[in-house]
Chains A and B, each alone.
Chain A
């Protein structure tokens, strides 16, 4: 991009350094977790921790994978996560469009709902929510949990997408419609490519929210076979804040991987989306 050319040498180096610094700070705790997962237990409990393991051991991973429910809960989390992600994207896009383009009284209500649902303590609506779900026979079911997560992620995603949409000039759509396209065609052919990064971010958000969520899963999923990964992870902790640190570290590393993979996949969407030929005059 033309921005770089103004300061040929200094800028890229400074930028590289800054980026490297960011990444190091952000990644360090995860690296520490990774290192811990390879340390044998007595080393973890020694009073003088070092960063790299003195002895390399895969015992924790073996132990974790053998614990019955871990893999099961991973499948559960994965299913719930992916499904809610796709559902959120499908619902949010048209809804955000309507919100951004059509001015109606409902808009204010929706915004009010978005705000309130984000601020009001989630834990307090737990019980009424459970009662509602129970009357729908959706408690202790992954389908019910998925629905909850979809509804949960919607306000944020809606607001974000509608923000991006507002930032796209209306002329684009008008141009397309003059060319004979219907509204939905405009939405999917013209706007969607522009919004790919935003949609990608939204899907990432939906997935990670669902994947990382603990409290609702704890309360809604009662049978051991229906439990999600986060609840399962918590079982490595014990009294007084103690934890079986080694297995916990290994399990946490395993739990972190899917989100990272997803982003790797979605990454591409961020480099597309620039309006090369958007301004069709």
Chain B
């Protein structure tokens, strides 16, 4: 066709399409003036289905205040929320994570839920979970409902092959025992100098979160409160885990170097193919990926939390929060109570493969069965505790400016643990002092 024809066609198409589409918009506005907007971050297949079902159930029972379900994504939710908060067009309920919403609360974006939460829910949800969302001044930033737990996944067949007995809840492994098992499981099958099977793999791409949560077992917490200020100190407890990991990587050669630049979940294909016998420090939610995508006949299990000084690890909860600027806070809370009723919370936790925050849910048989490691994961809930860094101003910047980059260099073997420790301390103070310059509530 000639130039003129194609040009005319384009213009016509544009006008036609836009009239059709643009005209549709106003009609929507009229139909539901009163509605709650709920932004959810569910993305795994089962979780998506459960979320939508719950919303549909609410809508059926509450036609005068329907919930509009908006699917957000983990990678873009932060920008979405920040611009929403700043411009005032906020959702009424949003799903996010306990460590990040602290920042929002500090900036005054969130409604204080302390007065809105029913006593029943307050009672039933674990005290540690509440601790993760309560600020020093008593303000509650969100309702925790899914608890994150870092677990170790292992390949049952490879364990059997190497004649290793997996640990049980009654007799957990120490980190030393993990190291030994990893050594046994590392094999160079065809003697070509290259290792085909690695005993363990750690996803160390942005490892600050994992390191901090796991270091609690060693008694190390990195952050210490000195009066009103926060200090970062890297002492013996903090260094132990770092030493163990670097030893496994570069001394034992039992941990795969490929894990250094990857996140835990991207190691899953290697896990399936038998390249990695154990995946350490991976989120419990990843089990859904295993169940959905594993090749037929693949047998895997979950190892109980490893013991150092204790078996404790840092808690991280997924939460539902209400923005301060929402005009329907009471109704929003009613929806949250509905969505996080014992039955519904159980469904949500199961479909997202995470630990429910309600004690009544934890006792349910679904969370106690041995298949797919539910019993181990649920039992690990009692080892969750809050780290002192929650609520520290500047934690986000510290993580991405100081912790992650230095840890990346450490695990790439460009620094020794001592050098890394020193650098972390020095740079932490530079970064944190920025937040302590003003005497605002930051």
Give the contacting residue for B22; candidates A46, A142, A236; CB below 8 A. Answer: A142
Shortest CB-to-CB span from B254 to chain A, Å, is 19
Judge whether A265 is part of the interface by a CB distance below 8 angstroms: yes
Contact (A47, B74) CB under 8 Å given A79-B18, A86-B10: no
Give Cα A131–Cα B263 distance, bound, in whole angstroms. Answer: 38
Residue of B1, B37, B83 touching A130 (CB-CB under 8 A): B83
Residues A78 and B2 in contact in the complex (CB < 8 Å), given A47-B275, A218-B80, A219-B83: no
**Is B34's beta carbon under 8 Å from chain A?**
no
Stretch at the interface among B64-72, B363-371, B395-403: B64-72
Please choose the segment from A24-32, A101-109, A149-157, A266-274 that sits at the chain B interface, where 4 or more of its residues have CB less than 8 A away. A266-274
Contact string against B for A residues 29-73, beta-carbon threshold 8 Å, 1 for contact and 0 otherwise: 000000000000110111110000000000000000000000000
The docked-state distance in angstroms from the alpha carbon of A269 to that of B24 is 34
Q: Closest chain A residue to B83 by CB distance?
A: A219
Q: Are A47 and B71 in contact (CB under 8 A)?
A: no
Contact A222 B89 (CB under 8 A): yes
State A46–B15 Cα separation when bound (angstroms). Answer: 47
A140-176 residues at the B interface, CB under 8 angstroms: 140-143, 146
A42 to B295, Cβ gap below 8 A? yes
Contact of A142 among B25, B84, B265 (CB under 8 A): B25
- In this assembly, does B223 line the interface, its C-beta being within 8 Å of a C-beta of chain A? no
A130 to B82: give the CA distance in the assembly, Å: 12
* Contact between chains at B20 and A79 (CB < 8 Å): yes
CB distance from A25 to the nearest CB of B (A): 25
The interface bits of chain B over 231-275 (1 if a CB of A lies within 8 angstroms of the residue's CB, else 0) are 000000000000000000000000000000001111011101111
Residues 188-217 of chain B, each 1 if its beta carbon lies under 8 Å from chain A, else 0: 000000000000000100000000000000
Contacting pair B74 A239 (CB below 8 A): yes
Number of residues from A at the complex interface, CB < 8 A: 55
From residue 1 to 59 of chain B, which have CB atoms closer than 8 A to chain A? 1-3, 6, 9-11, 13-15, 17-18, 20-22, 24-25, 28, 37, 43-45
- In the bound complex, residues from chain A placing their C-beta under 8 Å from that of B272 are 45-47
* A45-B268 in contact (CB<8A): yes
**Cα distance A242–B205 in the bound complex, in angstroms:** 13
A265 near B6 with CB under 8 A, answer yes
- CB <8 Å contact, B14 and A82: yes
In contact, B75 and A234 (Cβ under 8 angstroms): yes
Q: How far is the CA of A234 from the CA of B263 in the complex (A)?
A: 19
In the assembled complex, how far is the CB of residue A84 from the closest CB belonging to chain B, in whole angstroms?
A: 9
Chain B binding surface, main DSSP class: helix
With known contacts A47-B275, A143-B22, A241–B266 Cβ distance under 8 A: yes
- Contact across chains for B69 and A224 when beta carbons are under 8 A apart: yes
B120 at the interface (CB under 8 A from A): no
Q: Which residues of B contact A127 (CB under 8 A)?
A: 83, 86-87
Separation of A114 and B415 alpha carbons in the complex (Å): 46
Instruction: State the Cβ distance, B80 to closest chain A Cβ, in Å.
Output: 6
Q: Which of A126, A236, A237, A265 contacts B10 (CB 8 A)?
A: A265
In the complex the two chains form, is A239's CB within 8 Å of B273's CB?
A: no
Find out whether the CB atom of B73 lies under 8 angstroms from the CB atom of A141: no
B168 at the interface (CB under 8 A from A): no
Given the complex, which residues of A lie within 8 Å of B25, measured CB to CB? 141-142, 225-226
Task: Report how far A224 CA is from B3 CA in the complex, Å.
Answer: 37
What are 17 A-B pairs at a CB distance below 8 A? A41-B292, A79-B14, A80-B18, A86-B11, A131-B87, A139-B89, A218-B76, A219-B80, A223-B68, A224-B68, A237-B74, A238-B74, A241-B265, A265-B10, A268-B1, A268-B3, A272-B3
* A residues with CB within 8 A of B: 41-42, 44-48, 75-76, 78-80, 82-83, 85-86, 123, 126-127, 130-131, 134, 139-143, 146, 196, 203, 214-215, 218-219, 222-226, 231, 234-242, 244, 265-266, 268-269, 272
> Which residues of B does A touch, CB under 8 Å?
1-3, 6, 9-11, 13-15, 17-18, 20-22, 24-25, 28, 37, 43-45, 68-71, 73-76, 79-80, 83-84, 86-87, 89, 203, 263-266, 268-270, 272-275, 283, 285, 289, 292-295
The 4 closest A-B pairs by CB, nearest first: A47-B273, A82-B14, A238-B43, A79-B21
Known pairs A224-B69, A235-B71, A237-B74 / 12 extra A-B pairs, C-beta < 8 Å: A46-B273, A47-B269, A79-B17, A82-B18, A142-B18, A219-B79, A222-B70, A224-B70, A237-B75, A238-B73, A244-B43, A272-B3
